Structure 1
Amino acid sequence: MTIGRHASAAVPANTVAAPHLSPKPAAFDNLTLVSPGRSARAGTVRAIGFHLGLLALFAVPAVALWWHVWSGHPADTLTCACGDPAQEVWFVAWPAWAVAHLHDPFFSNVVNVPHGANLLSNTSGTLVGVVLAPVTWLFGPVAATNVALTLAPALSAWGCFVAVRPLVTWKWGALPAALVFGYSSAIYTSLVFGHVSVSMLVFPPLLFSLLHEIVIRQQHSVRRDGLLLAALVVAQFLVSPEVLFLCGVFAAIGFVAVMAVGWRQVRVRAAAHALPALGLAFAVAGGILAYPVWFGLEGPQAVTGLLFAIAPITGVPLSGIVVPGAPRTVATSYVRFSGYLGHNGPPPDYLGVGLLVAAIASLVAARRRALTWLLLLLAVVAFWLTLGAYALSAPGWFHHVWLPWRPLEKLALFEEVLPDQIAPFVVLFVAFLIAVGLDAFYVRHRPASSWLAVHRRGATMAATVVVALVAVVPVFATFDAPIAVRPVTVPPYVRTAARTLPARSVLLTVPFAVSGVTQPMLWQAVDGLRFDLAGAALKTPGPGGGPVGKGAPGSARRIMTDLTLAGAPEPSGTPAQIATLLQALRSWKVSRVVVAGSSRDPVYATGFLTMVLGVAPSQVAGAEVWRLQNGVPPATPALGGSLPKCRQNAETLARSARRTEMALCVLFGAGRT
């Protein structure tokens, strides 16, 4: 097999490929913004205008998907003011705050006080927050998050278009490829959960196209290719290190395949161009990313080990690539807990029959091109990895098939990735394959008198339009379109009274900010991060370096978690629990303890905290509030009362009076009035 665009036309190592073998980039090709023979300025303006128009075109379906946001109140609307969407608002807000205050964007000390949180151990998407900082400053982090989620599929599609274009002569073949990728089930699934960093996939297509340029086409200088690759690597790291890691995995697989099959054709060119360009990219990107990589792996509050407890049982369904499951049904409890209150959609690996037929037709049409088989290899490997370690939804006979994720998931870095996150790469390689197939159909030699030869452009354009429709229609046919959204509700206390607190006051809230409970972080973000939080719905390390999660049994974190989430007995107010929480209050230097918003049982939580703090709360803007001085409560614990009995008595009163009655009952049981 010959490594090149056409298997039948090998290009000697010391020659330049002919135009029909390696198409010369046009004014709108990948990062080529100057038209030959015209002034650089005019060419740049035209190219920028073209790409802006293209981006606007790709944004049309995105605006349609997010129509409920943009036709309403984008600064106060999310898919859910809970779960992952609420957490993502905080991730967008933090870099803007860090830039404005000249703070380290990779580390936050306004949550999980006094320890803070390492944001490179979380899916923080630092670059997105920095770029959208002006939007955050002007309109708030919710609006900035909605901008990011709307741009994510459009930019991903644009990146795919730009990446595909140098690989083909039929330039419009890049259009359906872009739509296939940008509006894939994999990206849509991340959108509805607000996952900005893993839905903003503009750089992976560009990385793969540039690697093809460096290893195969080699039409630019070593310096240009090396520096451009370094820039893309740095940018992708700052959006999502996990996605960059996966890009590296597939780049390595592709490089090994190319070397194994086409070593004779590639070795001389590799020594002259590829190795120097890759070396330059490694040196530049390595120098820039040395500190961030160290910080994420070994820096303060870095998390190690298995990051996702559900990782061993995750993966896409085997049939999901064709069968959409049960779309448009009521969302499962898991989907709702994660932050989407609309309907179920297809699995992340869903392509549908139409795209599979297009991919198979492309494989047949471009079967003589080595690039076709490389893309097929990468797509198959990616799909194989997405099945996870056990392929839980596969038929019984399939369980005897060896799954590569089983040994890989135990390796460093792989344990930080979920198999589902590989699904976008399946779609990416299929999208590239479809573009190559359309190009092969367009350039195929036919008898001059044949109908296809006479109508070659029209026939190829018709096929292109059909594939583009096949790419977009399934999204609107199987998913919620427009996406279901809800108003963002922030307790009046946070919108009013909290803004009068001294700067950097520490709040301990019920609900408590812990894994799965992100509302307090949303409140903090909407308030402009003026106060600090005890707790964090982020990955922070426990004693062994792994994610602390809900905390060890008996810890203050677990006590507050059990006040917030069902699933374990509520804290009963034992002396050990009270002593533990009092010690934590002093360590956290809590200024206010606040019961606001929704949680497991706010009435019971009010009684328990009254027992710990020794006084009844003040009612401020609809919240129960206790005031502390550097974590020291105003009184000694109110022991002696029965929380279950007080809760039972409070239930007999009107809802508005239950919290007050609960606190008074606890104090009465302790002999206080």
Structure 2
Amino acid sequence: MEEVVDGAAGSRSETPAPRRRRADPWALLSYAVLSVLVTVQLWRDPNGRVLAGNDDDHGVFLFMLAHGERVLFHGDNPFFSDRLNVPDGVNMMANTSVLALSLPLAPLTHWLGPGFSVALLITLGLAGTAAAWYWVLSRHLVTSRLAAWIGGLWCGFAPTMVSHANGHVNFVSQWLLPFIVWQALRLREPGRAVRGGVILGLLIVAQVFINEESLLFTALALGVFVIAYAVMAPDRARSDARPMAAGLAVAAGVSLAALAYPLWYQFFAKGNYHGQPFAPDMYATDLASIAGFARQSLAGNAELTRHMSVSSTEDNLFFGPAGLVMIVASVVVLWRTVAARAAAVSALVLLIVSMGPVLIVFGRRTGVPLPFGLISHVPIIDLVSVTRFAMVPATIAGVLLALATDRLRGFTPRGRRLWQVGLVLALVPLFPKPLPVVVDDPLPPFLTQGTWRQYVSDDRTLVTVPLPEVTTGRTGMRWVTLSHLEYRTPRGYFMGPVDPPRDDTGSWNAPRRFTSDLLWRVREFGERPQLTASDKARITEDLIFWRAAVVVLVPGSRNEDALLETMTTALGAPQLVGGVQLWDVRSLPVPSPE
């Protein structure tokens, strides 16, 4: 780590010995094998299985990959989709559209399905992140390939990464971040302002189209690191300030020039929103989770973990007791290194921020105020799920562990044995288990045989009951994405304004309507409402608003009988076509486009 600051890494003349170079393919192969092990159950049928830990977000990324396919094969707008949430559509820049991933994989999505691409990206994300950190560590920060391998293993397969692999394609695809960090720190080297700034700017642009949250976390971590280092080594910081500032200015110019329109679209075009649909303290890191075990770790217990985590995709720390001891021991070993201390400070600051405005211990709110309460409503920060800040200390922990292990040769024989035992005790309990999956119902012949085309023209929609909504209408959204977004559908799971133009607060749902509320109650509680003439008129009004051509009951839905009875009362007896019951409403008018 000291080499990052003192410049030794940039000028290192030592060429890795052939033996060390031969270790590289074995390290990369081990990451690939472990990544396949984590995702093996999904690979058995990627288009027919869904990740059980977060089937909703899995569905979101099916949609994102299908959108990328439409951009490449049908010329759709990359920043906007009219296939979901008809008639308003979805601002794709204001969502995690992963365009830097979905566009290159569009041919695979086209021929093998979006489920295949999601499985591939999760697998490559875990292995690629580990490999990227291994590469940066082994080439610039450590001399021991074993130390680099351990660092890459931790950074790529830490509990937080495996947890987010339950559907979060964006958060497991962190393989650009090590290079962003390294290029940013190298800007202090003389003569690198232009070249290094351009490279950094291009990396930033690419990362924006993978995951902006991870980029924000990285920028904040680097900012805290630089401030902490400047306090500890002011003379060196002053000498480095000018070349680094020049390089950052170049990087900012390159990235802003490339991102000006996409960012304008994200924050000001149709479908933009501000803030999150939940309070800042709703998803915060539990202090007890630092030494706990995640659900997907070998030593993990799901029932116990639930008391320390907001969801199976947000187990963002969970180092285990031995892991926590080894991280603290790494800081002690590296304490004389100013850069290592600054990195530890950065990790600690982001850890505290991740705990939200009030300290939580084993699921209990203690009432102890924390600093995040002072910044929770700052623009941009208010778009972040606060517990995810803990991903930063999880990654820094892996880097510190690698740096400390690299000093193993300088330990006493007893110290080496203790360190080796500590690594085993820390890493083995955190070994990841395969991600759990559920088998989804196959698409009905109505879709697979293309029967829907007889009913749904390009200016109309196919409306599924239950409606596509977050948590309650996943099947309807899955149908349209696995059909490559060939037809349009109303509503869906995405981020957009809750009630535009009156309220542009972020929401996971389309603006409420009478029919969406009615069908949600029927589906959730089995209500069998007595529809009045006015109720039927409002349902018809909503179907016109949604440009419906056909309404289809999803077979096997929760409270299916109540849903069938409600829609039959509203629209008359359904037809049985292609394995589904449907109502043909093409006689309804189509509103004129705005």
TM-score (norm 2): 0.87
Structure 1 position 208, deviation (Å) = 2.0
Residue of structure 2 in register with 1:495 after alignment: 448
- Confirm whether residue 268 of structure 1 aligns to residue 239 of structure 2: yes
Q: Kindly tell me: are residues 598 and 451 of structure 1, through their superposed partners in 2, closer, same or farther at Cα, counting changes over 3 Å?
A: closer
Q: Does the 8 Å contact 1:313/1:390 carry over to 2? A: no
Deviates more, 1:145-154 or 1:553-562: 553-562
Q: Kindly tell me: are residues 67 and 469 of structure 1, through their superposed partners in 2, closer, same or farther at Cα, counting changes over 3 Å?
A: farther
Within 5 Å, give how 1:463-502 maps onto structure 2: 469=424, 472-476=427-431, 481-492=433-444, 493-496=446-449, 497-498=451-452, 501-502=455-456
- Please give the alpha-carbon distance, in whole angstroms, between the structure 1 residues aligned to 2:376 and 2:332: 35
C-alpha distance after superposition, 1:218-249 (max 9, x if no partner): 27732331122112211211111122122222
- Confirm whether residue 300 of structure 1 aligns to residue 274 of structure 2: no
Unaligned runs of 5+ in 1: 12-16, 29-34, 36-45, 339-343, 453-458, 634-673
Q: Any idea what SS the aligned residue of 2:204 has?
A: helix
Q: Kindly tell me: are residues 607 and 209 of structure 1, through their superposed partners in 2, closer, same or farther at Cα, counting changes over 3 Å?
A: same
Residue of structure 2 in register with 1:40 after alignment: none
- Residue 34 of structure 2 is aligned with which of 61, 73, 87? 61
Q: Kindly tell me: are residues 238 and 406 of structure 1, through their superposed partners in 2, closer, same or farther at Cα, counting changes over 3 Å?
A: same
Structure 1 position 507, deviation (Å) = 0.8
- Please give the alpha-carbon distance, in whole angstroms, between the structure 1 residues aligned to 2:245 and 2:426: 37
Structure 1 position 551, deviation (Å) = 6.3
Structure 1 position 582, deviation (Å) = 1.4
Q: Any idea what SS the aligned residue of 2:477 has?
A: helix
Q: Any idea what SS the aligned residue of 2:551 has?
A: strand
Question: How many percent of aligned residue pairs carry the same amino acid?
Answer: 21
Q: Does the 8 Å contact 1:5/1:370 carry over to 2? A: no
- Please give the alpha-carbon distance, in whole angstroms, between the structure 2 residues aligned to 1:557 and 1:549: 14
Q: Does the 8 Å contact 2:81/2:91 carry over to 1? A: yes
C-alpha distance after superposition, 1:139-186 (max 9, x if no partner): 111111111111121111112222323123334322111111111111
- Residue 284 of structure 1 is aligned with which of 239, 254, 267? 254
Residue of structure 1 in register with 2:49 after alignment: 77
- Residue 163 of structure 2 is aligned with which of 185, 189, 201? 189
Structure 1 position 570, deviation (Å) = 5.7
What amino acid is the match of 2:154? V
- Confirm whether residue 108 of structure 1 aligns to residue 78 of structure 2: no
Q: Does the 8 Å contact 1:551/1:558 carry over to 2? A: no
- Confirm whether residue 252 of structure 1 aligns to residue 223 of structure 2: yes
TM-score (norm 1): 0.77
- Please give the alpha-carbon distance, in whole angstroms, between the structure 1 residues aligned to 2:559 and 2:60: 22
Deviates more, 1:390-399 or 1:257-266: 390-399
Unaligned runs of 5+ in 2: none
Q: Does the 8 Å contact 2:130/2:156 carry over to 1? A: yes
Residue of structure 2 in register with 1:456 after alignment: none
- Confirm whether residue 429 of structure 1 aligns to residue 396 of structure 2: yes
What amino acid is the match of 1:438? T
Higher strand share: 2
Structure 1 position 501, deviation (Å) = 4.7
Q: Kindly tell me: are residues 612 and 432 of structure 1, through their superposed partners in 2, closer, same or farther at Cα, counting changes over 3 Å?
A: same
Q: Any idea what SS the aligned residue of 1:591 has?
A: strand
Within 5 Å, give how 1:188-337 maps onto structure 2: 188-192=162-166, 194-215=167-188, 218=189, 221-271=192-242, 273-305=243-275, 307-309=276-278, 311-324=280-293, 327-329=300-302
C-alpha distance after superposition, 1:37-89 (max 9, x if no partner): xxxxxxxxx99x9876643321111111222233x333422224942222221
- Please give the alpha-carbon distance, in whole angstroms, between the structure 1 residues aligned to 2:278 and 2:182: 35
Q: Kindly tell me: are residues 398 and 528 of structure 1, through their superposed partners in 2, closer, same or farther at Cα, counting changes over 3 Å?
A: closer
Q: Does the 8 Å contact 1:563/1:605 carry over to 2? A: yes
- Residue 555 of structure 1 is aligned with which of 514, 520, 523? 514
Q: Does the 8 Å contact 2:359/2:365 carry over to 1? A: no
Q: Any idea what SS the aligned residue of 2:581 has?
A: strand
Q: Does the 8 Å contact 1:204/1:247 carry over to 2? A: yes
Structure 1 position 399, deviation (Å) = 3.5
- Please give the alpha-carbon distance, in whole angstroms, between the structure 2 residues aligned to 1:285 and 1:50: 36
Within 5 Å, give how 1:513-592 maps onto structure 2: 513-516=468-471, 517-541=473-497, 542-543=499-500, 544-549=503-508, 555-566=514-525, 571-592=529-550
- Residue 378 of structure 1 is aligned with which of 346, 350, 359? 346
Q: Does the 8 Å contact 2:347/2:393 carry over to 1? A: yes
What amino acid is the match of 1:208? V
What amino acid is the match of 1:487? V
C-alpha distance after superposition, 1:491-510 (max 9, x if no partner): 41332333555553411111
Q: Any idea what SS the aligned residue of 1:312 has?
A: coil
Q: Any idea what SS the aligned residue of 2:548 has?
A: coil
Residue of structure 2 in register with 1:388 after alignment: 356
Structure 1 position 384, deviation (Å) = 0.9
- Please give the alpha-carbon distance, in whole angstroms, between the structure 1 residues aligned to 2:128 and 2:115: 20
Q: Any idea what SS the aligned residue of 2:557 has?
A: coil
Q: Kindly tell me: are residues 475 and 359 of structure 1, through their superposed partners in 2, closer, same or farther at Cα, counting changes over 3 Å?
A: closer
- Please give the alpha-carbon distance, in whole angstroms, between the structure 1 residues aligned to 2:407 and 2:307: 44
Structure 1 position 196, deviation (Å) = 0.6
Q: Does the 8 Å contact 2:456/2:550 carry over to 1? A: no
What amino acid is the match of 1:298? F
Q: Kindly tell me: are residues 53 and 106 of structure 1, through their superposed partners in 2, closer, same or farther at Cα, counting changes over 3 Å?
A: farther
Structure 1 position 346, deviation (Å) = 9.3
- Please give the alpha-carbon distance, in whole angstroms, between the structure 1 residues aligned to 2:547 and 2:91: 20
Structure 1 position 370, deviation (Å) = 0.7
C-alpha distance after superposition, 1:275-313 (max 9, x if no partner): 2211110000011111111111111111222x2326432
Residue of structure 2 in register with 1:594 after alignment: 552
- Confirm whether residue 129 of structure 1 aligns to residue 122 of structure 2: no
Residue of structure 1 in register with 2:320 after alignment: 352
- Please give the alpha-carbon distance, in whole angstroms, between the structure 1 residues aligned to 2:60 and 2:96: 10
- Please give the alpha-carbon distance, in whole angstroms, between the structure 2 residues aligned to 1:585 and 1:334: 43
Residue of structure 1 in register with 2:564 after alignment: 606
Q: Kindly tell me: are residues 557 and 431 of structure 1, through their superposed partners in 2, closer, same or farther at Cα, counting changes over 3 Å?
A: same
- Please give the alpha-carbon distance, in whole angstroms, between the structure 2 residues aligned to 1:328 and 1:500: 50
Structure 1 position 484, deviation (Å) = 1.9
- Residue 507 of structure 1 is aligned with which of 462, 465, 470? 462
Q: Any idea what SS the aligned residue of 1:535 has?
A: coil
Q: Kindly tell me: are residues 554 and 300 of structure 1, through their superposed partners in 2, closer, same or farther at Cα, counting changes over 3 Å?
A: closer
- Please give the alpha-carbon distance, in whole angstroms, between the structure 2 residues aligned to 1:355 and 1:533: 47
Root-mean-square deviation (CA, aligned residues, Å) is 3.5
Q: Does the 8 Å contact 2:320/2:426 carry over to 1? A: no
Structure 1 position 596, deviation (Å) = 1.3
What amino acid is the match of 1:319? A
Q: Kindly tell me: are residues 24 and 174 of structure 1, through their superposed partners in 2, closer, same or farther at Cα, counting changes over 3 Å?
A: farther
Q: Does the 8 Å contact 1:499/1:527 carry over to 2? A: no
- Please give the alpha-carbon distance, in whole angstroms, between the structure 1 residues aligned to 2:110 and 2:303: 37
- Please give the alpha-carbon distance, in whole angstroms, between the structure 1 residues aligned to 2:314 and 2:265: 37
Structure 1 position 323, deviation (Å) = 2.1
- Please give the alpha-carbon distance, in whole angstroms, between the structure 1 residues aligned to 2:363 and 2:575: 59
Structure 1 position 257, deviation (Å) = 2.1
Structure 1 position 632, deviation (Å) = 4.3
Structure 1 position 441, deviation (Å) = 3.8
- Please give the alpha-carbon distance, in whole angstroms, between the structure 2 residues aligned to 1:619 and 1:334: 46
Q: Does the 8 Å contact 1:176/1:468 carry over to 2? A: no
- Confirm whether residue 164 of structure 1 aligns to residue 137 of structure 2: yes
C-alpha distance after superposition, 1:326-378 (max 9, x if no partner): 8344699999x98xxxxx79932101122222222222222211111011101
Residue of structure 2 in register with 1:43 after alignment: none
- Please give the alpha-carbon distance, in whole angstroms, between the structure 1 residues aligned to 2:538 and 2:291: 53
Structure 1 position 260, deviation (Å) = 3.0
Q: Kindly tell me: are residues 575 and 470 of structure 1, through their superposed partners in 2, closer, same or farther at Cα, counting changes over 3 Å?
A: farther
Q: Kindly tell me: are residues 441 and 280 of structure 1, through their superposed partners in 2, closer, same or farther at Cα, counting changes over 3 Å?
A: same
Residue of structure 1 in register with 2:154 after alignment: 180
- Please give the alpha-carbon distance, in whole angstroms, between the structure 2 residues aligned to 1:53 and 1:92: 31
What amino acid is the match of 2:218? C
What amino acid is the match of 1:425? V
